[in-house]
């Protein structure tokens, strides 16, 4: 019935009849099309906007059977927004219908959102045109609907991809370009403009690369020869020319630019300025050369181990252990230790110290290739303190001769100490023996001074007493010194407050200096501790001796007692006492 109605409409429009056989063929063809077409074909009555016809393909697209749609209003299958849009488009088409220049057979395509039977929404592209009565008035709408959800999603993804690629193109630090076969620049990104030293894209696009980019025709030809051979170049080093004429190196990656038929129309690729990289490579080569020179000239063995396997050693180290470099590289350091115990001790103690302090030093032994054992001072530091697996740099010094010399020196020092002790004991004894008769001499002289002497005799006796007293003081000093050196006197270390002692000494020294026509000054440094550990008695004796000498020979007739901290850390402070520091106690003319 529907087929007949459509056939009659066609007959009237064409003004001719259709034979029965031909009509049957058309009906069969239509039914075949109706059952297999993917799109949904429909007819909508303009008067009530209800469907009069819809192809069975609507069930696959929406879940509705065609019988459920026929007779239903269009608002059953469209979202509210899409329904409003459809009515707006329809009103506009009806308003302009019949106007001059408006095609009565025109069609209109609209994107809408349609409802499935399960309530889900999908995107649909509607293409519709008016069906007219005998007078040409629009009475129905003939339309085709197709699901474009996938197409729209693909278009969205394509736009996003294009946006992303455009962002990469615009913001990349690498220069992108497209060049025609004749060398005309077709496209460049901002990085290319910057790398080539220009200010604007327009200064490059449309220009020939041979005129403003390539450093020479030979360099361009070298690139094309390589491109012909491989079809694509990745990271080829070439030289280009900047806007100011400067020749500089870049890494060029390039391939052929093809049209839709696969024909070459140009080239496209990227450039990266490697000027800084080449400069760094040159500096690295120079540094490596300097390091090689240092390694060759170093008087100690130097090398690198990773997991205690030799990765690098210098000539001095090879000479030290007697192995050629080729034998050592790649071998575990165990080969140069005389025993497993030595090897493991060094590994444990040295690496523990490296972890604590960042550097490890230890004395050990190496066994040379000829079997001789040598003493070695080994110092190591990690390449990366946070990751010892990256390797350790070491220095090795042969201290065999030094240890032998040290033993000989210690033996000589011990012999000297023994001789010094014997000398001190002798001086202590002889000084003690001299002190007794000297006391007798002083006593006799003082008794003689009480006798009835002439003025001249009294002067001689007093001079003799003064000289004898000085000699007695010298003997006392010798006795104390010899007793100290002989180990007969030990310091009695006790805590004491330094400030009362300084006040006492200051008053006494000031008075004594004044009596001898000299001045006295006490100079105290800052941050002197409130309590010191020492032997006050010995300290006072030493200062008294120094003061006696200073007050006699101090330049300018002035004596200084200087007290100041010398060595200081968180746990200890050493205070230094000095008399007239850095000044000669005896004038040069009297030495």
Per residue in 537-568, pLDDT (tens digit) is 888 878 887 777 777 766 557 888 888 887 66
CA distance linking residue 71 with residue 90, whole number of Å: 20
**Nearest CA-CA partner of 141 in 44, 71, 41:** 44
Q: Look up residue 72 and give its two tokens.
A: 């239903």
| DSSP for 305-363, written as a single string | EETTEEEEE-HHHHHHHT--HHHHTTSBGGGGSSSHHHHHHHHHHHHHHHHHHS-EEEE
The residue to which tokens 């077709």 are assigned: 186
Strand 558-568 and strand 519-524: the pairing is parallel
Q: Do domains 2-148 and 172-279 have the same CATH topology?
A: yes
For 119, left (φ over 0), alpha (ψ -120 to 50), or beta?
left
Beta strands in 116-170 (DSSP E): 121-132, 138-147
**Taking the domains of the chain in order of start, what are their residue ranges?**
2-148, 172-279, 298-398, 405-485, 494-590
The CATH code that applies to domain 494-590 is 3.30.565.10
- For residues 361-377, one letter each, b for 16 or more C-beta atoms within 10 angstroms of the residue's C-beta and e for the rest, the string is ebebbbbbeeeeebbbb
77 C-beta neighbours (distance < 10 Å), count: 26
Answer whether 553's CB lies under 8 Å from 590's CB: yes
Distance CA 48, CA 71 (A): 10
d(CA 591, CA 589): 6
361 in Cβ contact with 276 (< 8 Å): no
Q: Where are the alpha helices (DSSP H) in 333-454?
A: 340-357, 400-449
Dist. CA 471–CA 466, nearest whole Å: 9
Strand 175-180 to strand 138-147: parallel, antiparallel, or no bridges (unpaired)?
A: unpaired
Closest CA to 69 of 58, 79, 60, 78: 58
Q: What is the pLDDT of residue 484?
A: 62
Q: Are 357 and 330 in contact (CB under 8 A)?
A: no
State the number of CA atoms in the 13 A half-sphere of 240 facing the CB.
23
CA separation, residue 204 to residues 104, 146, 470 (Å): 52, 46, 103
Instruction: Count other Cβ atoms within 10 Å, centred on residue 482.
Output: 22
Cα–Cα distance measured from residue 58 to residue 36, given in angstroms and rounded to the nearest whole number: 11
Q: What does pTM read for this prediction?
A: 0.42
Structural contact between residues 575 and 528, judged by C-beta atoms closer than 8 angstroms: yes
Please provide the CATH number assigned to the domain covering 405-485: 1.10.287.130
Is the Cβ–Cβ distance between 213 and 219 less than 8 Å? no
Integer angstrom CA distances of residue 149 from 61, 76, 80, 532? 11, 20, 18, 93
Q: Round to whole Å and give the CA distance between 565 and 138.
A: 114
Write out pLDDT tens, residues 431-481.
667 777 878 888 888 888 888 888 888 888 888 888 888 777 777 766 666
Question: How is the beta sheet containing 301-306 ordered, strand by strand?
Answer: 309-313, 301-306, 392-398, 373-382, 360-367
The confidence score (pLDDT) of residue 478 equals 67
Q: What is the CATH number of domain 172-279?
A: 3.30.450.20
Helix (H) or strand (E) holding 377: strand 373-382
Distance CA 581, CA 270 (A): 75
Mean pLDDT by 10 residues, the chain (591 residues): 37 48 66 71 92 90 91 92 93 91 92 93 93 92 91 87 78 90 93 94 93 93 91 92 95 92 92 92 88 82 93 93 95 95 93 90 94 94 89 92 86 82 71 74 83 85 82 72 62 83 85 81 82 83 79 71 77 79 46 38
Q: Smallest Cα–Cα separation from 300: which of 361, 376, 372?
A: 376
What is the per-residue pLDDT for 458? 84
Tell me which CATH code domain 298-398 carries.
3.30.450.20
Q: Could you tell me the two tokens for 584?
A: 């000669």
* Fold of domain 2-148: Beta-Lactamase (3.30.450)
Residue labelled with tokens 């095609």: 103
């Amino acid at each position: 019935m529907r087929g007949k109605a459509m056939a009659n409409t066609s007959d009237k429009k064409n003004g001719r009849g259709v034979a029965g056989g031909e009509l049957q063929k058309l009906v069969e063809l239509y039914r075949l099309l109706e059952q297999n077409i993917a799109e949904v074909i429909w007819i909508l009555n303009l008067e009530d906007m209800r469907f009069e016809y819809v192809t069975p393909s609507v069930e696959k697209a929406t879940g509705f059977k065609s019988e459920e749609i026929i007779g239903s209003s269009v608002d059953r299958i469209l979202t509210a927004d899409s329904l409003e849009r459809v009515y707006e488009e329809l009103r506009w088409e009806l308003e302009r219908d019949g106007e001059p220049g408006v095609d009565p057979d025109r069609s209109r395509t609209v994107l809408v959102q349609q409802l499935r039977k399960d309530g889900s929404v999908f995107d649909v592209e509607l293409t519709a045109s008016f069906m007219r009565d005998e007078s040409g008035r629009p009475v129905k709408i003939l339309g085709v609907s197709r699901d474009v959800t996938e197409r729209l999603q693909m278009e969205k993804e394509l736009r996003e991809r294009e946006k992303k690629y455009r962002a990469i193109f615009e913001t990349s630090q690498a220069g992108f370009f497209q060049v025609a076969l004749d060398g005309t620049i077709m496209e460049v990104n901002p990085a290319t403009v910057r790398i080539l030293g220009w200010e604007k894209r327009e200064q490059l696009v449309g220009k020939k690369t041979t005129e403003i980019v390539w450093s020479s025709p030979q360099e361009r030809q070298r690139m094309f020869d390589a491109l012909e051979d491989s079809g694509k170049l990745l990271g080829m080093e070439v030289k280009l020319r900047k806007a100011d004429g400067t020749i500089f190196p870049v890494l060029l990656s390039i391939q052929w630019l093809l049209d839709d038929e696969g024909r070459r129309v140009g080239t496209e690729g990227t450039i990266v300025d490697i000027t800084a990289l080449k400069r760094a490579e040159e500096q690295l080569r120079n540094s490596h050369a300097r390091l090689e020179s240092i390694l060759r000239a170093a008087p100690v063995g130097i090398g690198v181990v990773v997991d205690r396997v030799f990765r690098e050693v210098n000539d001095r180290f090879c000479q030290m252990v007697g192995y050629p470099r080729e034998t050592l590289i790649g071998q575990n350091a165990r080969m140069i230790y005389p025993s497993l115990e030595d090897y493991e001790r060094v590994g444990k103690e040295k690496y523990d110290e490296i972890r604590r302090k960042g550097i490890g030093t230890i004395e050990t032994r190496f066994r040379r290739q000829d079997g001789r054992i040598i003493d070695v001072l080994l110092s190591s530091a990690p390449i990366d303190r946070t990751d010892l697996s990256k390797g350790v740099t070491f220095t090795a010094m042969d201290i065999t001769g030094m240890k032998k010399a040290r033993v000989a020196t210690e033996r000589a020092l011990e012999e000297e100490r023994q001789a010094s002790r014997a000398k001190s004991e002798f001086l202590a004894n002889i000084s003690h023996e001299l002190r007794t008769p000297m006391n007798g001499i002083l006593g006799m002289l003082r008794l003689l001074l009480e006798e009835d002497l002439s003025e001249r005799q009294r002067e001689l006796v007093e001079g003799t007493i003064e000289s004898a007293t000085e000699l007695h003081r010298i003997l006392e000093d010798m006795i104390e010194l010899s007793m100290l050196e002989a180990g007969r006197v030990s310091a009695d270390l006790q805590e004491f407050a330094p400030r009362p002692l300084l006040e006492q000494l200051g008053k006494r020294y000031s008075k004594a200096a004044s009596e001898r026509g000299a001045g006295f000054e006490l100079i105290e440094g800052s941050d002197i501790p409130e309590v010191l550990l020492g032997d006050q008695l010995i300290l006072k004796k030493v200062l008294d001796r120094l003061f006696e000498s200073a007050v006699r020979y101090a330049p300018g007739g002035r004596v200084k007692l200087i007290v100041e901290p010398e060595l200081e850390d968180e746990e200890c402070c050493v205070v230094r006492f000095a008399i007239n520091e850095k000044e000669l106690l005896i004038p040069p003319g009297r030495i």
